[in-house]
Chains A and B, each alone.
Chain A
């Protein structure tokens, strides 16, 4: 499988207009599955969370999970969608061994939520309004493991194992309308969009929203057309893009791949494509045409879902603050410059800083610690900040110790390292290690006099206005105090001495 020939990205954008469309599957964190009472926990021992319904035994019937409907409504409302007062499920018919009934119970022509919009800010600071076509409920399929062969795919495998723990897990599929006009920022927009969906469902508490676990999965549709053309180009649907970075890379790759083909007079095959993170490329999956015949028809085993207006309004009233509104509010409250705030957002540190501020720290101090030393230590350890064992309360305490002058910045960094090493809270560490700065002027003056005794010329130099000479004495004092002194205070006292 060779990497396709690609056109230079800038050149591709000069010649073509990029159109993307995103389908995001969100796995809901309900206690039980979509249509049965099995535990919604597919990480368990294979085929333990199964029953006659989710393995499709003859005679079994589905019953809709009320909580899943409420979660879906919450997602729809958070995306500014209208909620359908009545909606039928449909059957999507196709044979596949991971699909217990050989049809997927889904919503087809009557999604629970439709016609919404969401504002997406990308790292450059540009904001795009993405139109949501629909959000609908469906059930997940089981998980196949192909054994033998070397591709891990069904073709070439000797046999396959099926785990139906995932069969019937509730999903909400969110589909955008075609997104036109993002130009060279289309890849960033795609990633930022998925990040926003993650933030929203996390804020709603309806999904664990962990991409690495497949709680949020994205299929990215990409097509190109000549500038000025009205008709949309033929699209490809890249599946298996399960990190924000992959989404950005996959969209960029498809733009360059398609541009190369189109510029050479070729045509794009409508198909699904697979993203290979390791090789940074997509490969052809199966042909997909609009005529794929799933023989949809209304699910006769279920009555339509009819959420009452009261229920919808109750859910609307309980919605948490929209993440983008929250960002606007926090930036204003904290008075961060645009660039400072964007760094915080891009580093994913909004929650930590908010909690640190709530714990009493000044916003700028909280920002400096989290985006500075904490991020640096995480980076050095190749970890995510969230994986470090330091809490917003710890940082607030640390910031307060520095603010009050009890410790200086350098000691603060030492204390932080000790917190990460599990030695306790900053206050405990400062007390135990005796790190508090020496604020006793008498002790500092004694140290200054000791230092001047060995470097008597310094006094004269200062008196003559050559302040740089003070450094040697300050350094000696800091050394004598084992760093636990406020250098600024030492300088003040030294000048005082010189003027006596």
Chain B
């Protein structure tokens, strides 16, 4: 492993700009790393080395010619495989899309290309982003670089393990109930779910349209900010995208600030159910923040109790409709049963063979929740809970500028531990789901190791809608407090990844 890949994105950007290193060198170093570790950790479903090197070499030429380049030009990146790319298959982790090469690039992918960022490949995920472990990927799970017997979080375990294994300096994730933040927590990385609408969803294979949001995955708060500045902005193709700019996240991350900030500890997200080591690290961070001048308050969000229940009605309802298009007629898998079958039977056989168990579970749940006679009791009630959660948060934000909690109740669990217990699996997202239901930004940053297993734990910061910059200010401050206490970066605690036979 060359030292090049150990650098944070912001450092590589500087080295590229000052020509200490070429994009081809940086890109090749990461491709080499992928070749070395991907057979073990399975972060990437598809590696686009040739295309990435072409972009890198083009950027190098333009830089050599003295051309003014975008800030992140030449910096390689990994993209979650639920964003469409015209030069690589896009599977969303499902058999039903095996080998599908989209006819168009997602808006975010277009922005990355316009920035001159070489795309290293497409990262693994639970099928259609339904899951917390990547165990529901049709292409096998990704592994946690901290302990390959453990899950890298999900659904974005491909992106988190790619960044945590130094296979990519940055990655794109998507977060419907925690799919960026939970993987960040269990791999010691940074993940940010922006305000709903801050980043265009055009080209993101929808799970639940009203909850999905694309965001950055990185190894530092500043790196995440640099990436968010590239991908954020209004897109006429996504009418739910915000018309206004939220400002520069990089500026916010470069100006850490805690002075006078009121930090609200969410009463409902601590104590029972939270692993002791996770809770202990969280309590220590609160003390650090207080010592650094922040005001600590406790806030009450009583409706959070119903968040998971509401989420698991709204999400499946929307997903059952979003996934109806996978019917074999226009793209993807087609399974034709014997005996001159009708189109109905072809659709049914295709969906039976192409969808995995968790996808089927949620389609059935959602179809039921939207059914005539049940709509009000299920989907209707869930939308009411959503409103209550928004009200809880609005009240909490009157008392605090930023809300905090552990990102997840536990550290990374072992493969197979929760696969047969959907309810236990769903509980991983207890702290992350409210942000999606309310459309507010949420950031997960590393919060030290839990002593009982030596694995990373995370802390989540929430801000009101459109106040993403505030999260970057506070998170950057906490990150620097941590590094002062630890004497190094979180990822420097990680054991050397053992690969091969």
Which A residues have a C-beta under 8 Å from some C-beta of B?
Answer: 52, 55-64, 91, 93, 95, 97, 100-103, 154, 160, 162, 291, 293, 295-297, 300-303
Contacts and interface: CB of A to CB of B under 8 A. Distances in A.
Nearest to B91: A58
A59 B79 CA distance: 14
Which interface residue of B236, B343, B375 has the most chain A CB atoms within 10 A? B343
Contact of A302 (B208, B239, B318, B347): B239
B375 A297 contact: yes
B84 to A, nearest CB: 5
B103 A52 contact: yes
B204 A62 contact: no
Contacts of B238: 61, 63
Given A61-B237, A93-B324, A291-B372, A297 B317 contact: yes
A52 to B, nearest CB: 5
B275 interface: no
Contact of A57 (B102, B204, B344, B370): B102
A52 B325 contact: no
Which interface residue of B102, B318, B321, B331 has the most chain A CB atoms within 10 A? B321
A295 B202 contact: no
Nearest to B326: A58
Given A95-B347, A301-B240, A58 B97 contact: yes
A55 B344 contact: no
Contacts of A291: 372
Given A295-B371, A297-B317, A301-B240, A58 B324 contact: no
Nearest to B100: A58
B317 A102 contact: no
B239 A295 contact: no
Contacts of A302: 239-240
B407 to A, nearest CB: 26
A162 B329 contact: yes
B486 interface: no
A63 B236 contact: yes
B375 A300 contact: no
Contact of B239 (A61, A100, A297): A61
A411 B375 CA distance: 75
Contact of A58 (B102, B236, B239, B367): B102
Interface residues of B, number: 45
Given A97-B327, A102-B324, A160 B343 contact: yes
B204 A59 contact: yes
Nearest to B84: A59
15 contacts: A52-B102, A52-B104, A58-B100, A61-B201, A61-B202, A63-B238, A97-B329, A103-B324, A160-B343, A295-B367, A295-B371, A296-B370, A297-B317, A300-B318, A301-B209
Given A61-B238, A91-B321, A300 B327 contact: no
B82 to A, nearest CB: 8
Contacts of A59: 82-84, 90, 102, 104, 106, 202-206
B106 A101 contact: no
Contacts of B443: none
A91 B103 CA distance: 25
B209 A300 contact: yes
B290 to A, nearest CB: 40
Interface of B: 82-84, 90, 92, 97, 100, 102-104, 106, 201-206, 208-210, 236-240, 317-318, 320-321, 324-327, 329-331, 343-344, 347, 367, 370-372, 375, 379
Contacts of A154: 343
A303 B331 CA distance: 28
Contacts of B379: 297
B325 A100 contact: yes
A480 B371 CA distance: 88
A295 B236 contact: no
A303 B239 contact: yes
B185 to A, nearest CB: 27
B207 to A, nearest CB: 11
Given A100-B330, A301-B209, A293 B371 contact: yes
Nearest to A297: B370
A52 B104 CA distance: 7
A162 B238 CA distance: 27
Contacts of B367: 295
Contact of A55 (B92, B97, B330, B375): B330
Contacts of A162: 329
Contacts of B326: 58
A300 B238 CA distance: 11
Nearest to A159: B343
B348 to A, nearest CB: 9
A160 B342 CA distance: 10
The 6 closest A-B pairs by CB, nearest first: A102-B324, A300-B209, A295-B370, A300-B210, A59-B203, A58-B205
B86 to A, nearest CB: 11
B325 A64 contact: no
A58 B321 contact: no
B202 A60 contact: yes
Nearest to A302: B239
B156 to A, nearest CB: 16
A154 B342 CA distance: 9
B28 to A, nearest CB: 30
A347 to B, nearest CB: 46
Given A102-B324, A297-B321, A62 B102 contact: no
A291 B371 CA distance: 10
B371 A58 contact: no
Given A58-B84, A162-B329, A303-B239, 6 more contacts: A58-B100, A58-B331, A59-B206, A95-B324, A295-B375, A302-B240
Contacts of A97: 327, 329, 343
Given A93-B324, A95-B327, A97-B343, A57 B104 contact: yes
A102 B327 contact: yes
A287 B370 CA distance: 22
B114 to A, nearest CB: 18
Nearest to A93: B321
Contact of B92 (A56, A58, A63): A58
Contacts of A61: 201-202, 237-239
B239 A60 contact: no
Contacts of B370: 93, 295-297
Contacts of B208: 300
Which interface residue of A97, A154, A300, A302 has the most chain B CB atoms within 10 A? A300
Given A58-B97, A63-B236, A295 B325 contact: no
A102 B196 CA distance: 26
A58 B90 contact: yes
A162 B343 CA distance: 12
Contacts of B347: 95
Contacts of A160: 343
A301 B321 CA distance: 12
A129 to B, nearest CB: 33
Nearest to B200: A61
Contacts of B375: 295, 297
A295 B370 CA distance: 5
Nearest to A47: B330
Given A59-B106, A59-B206, A103 B321 contact: yes
B29 to A, nearest CB: 31
B41 to A, nearest CB: 26
A301 B370 CA distance: 17
Contacts of A103: 321, 324
A93 B318 CA distance: 11
Contacts of B320: 93, 295
A59 B214 CA distance: 12
A58 B238 CA distance: 14
Contacts of B82: 59
A102 B205 contact: no
Contacts of B372: 291, 293, 295
